[in-house]
Copies of this chain bind each other. A is one copy, B any other.
Amino acid sequence: MNVQASNLDNCIVAGNEGLREPIAVDLFKALADPSRAAILGSLASAGRPLRVSEVSTCCPQDLSVVSRHLATLREAGVVESERRGREVWYRLETGGLVRYLRDLADAFESCCPPTSSEDGKHGKK
């Protein structure tokens, strides 16, 4: 996956150096779908590679739809696939994702000092 920065060239507002880490729009697009979230959860629960037909039991959609979702996740760089015979095995490959999430968290934190007024967001206290 190529982390693609958004265009800020027209922006006339500038203060500090901003976000050190660009927001990976395409990565977030891949994660922003309930079916794909369920697929990732399925792969995580299994704790091992799964065939497409196994993954497809996690959601009511057609197997072809699941196949396409897996391709999307592969292009986003969060799963990898390997063909063995006539089966294709998918497995999580979240090393890059984990690094990116932490880098982005660091970037937001260092750029925007936490204020006291916020609590209970995102299901965490």
Contact = CB atoms under 8 A, between A and B. Distances in A.
What is the copy number of this chain in the assembly?
Answer: 2
A108 B73 CA distance: 15
Interface in A69-104: 77, 80, 92-104
Given A11-B58, A23-B37, A95-B118, A47 B16 contact: yes
Interface of A: 1-3, 5-8, 10-19, 22-25, 27-29, 31-35, 37-38, 40-42, 44-48, 50, 54-55, 57-60, 77, 80, 92-105, 108-109, 111-112, 114-115, 117-118, 120-124
A38 to B, nearest CB: 4
Closest 4 CB pairs of A and B: A96-B121, A15-B47, A18-B45, A28-B32
A74 to B, nearest CB: 11
13 contacts: A3-B122, A5-B41, A6-B37, A7-B38, A16-B44, A25-B31, A80-B118, A93-B118, A93-B121, A94-B112, A99-B121, A100-B123, A105-B105
A6 B123 contact: no
Given A108-B94, A108-B98, A45 B15 contact: yes
A39 to B, nearest CB: 9
Contact of A44 (B29, B35, B94, B112): B112
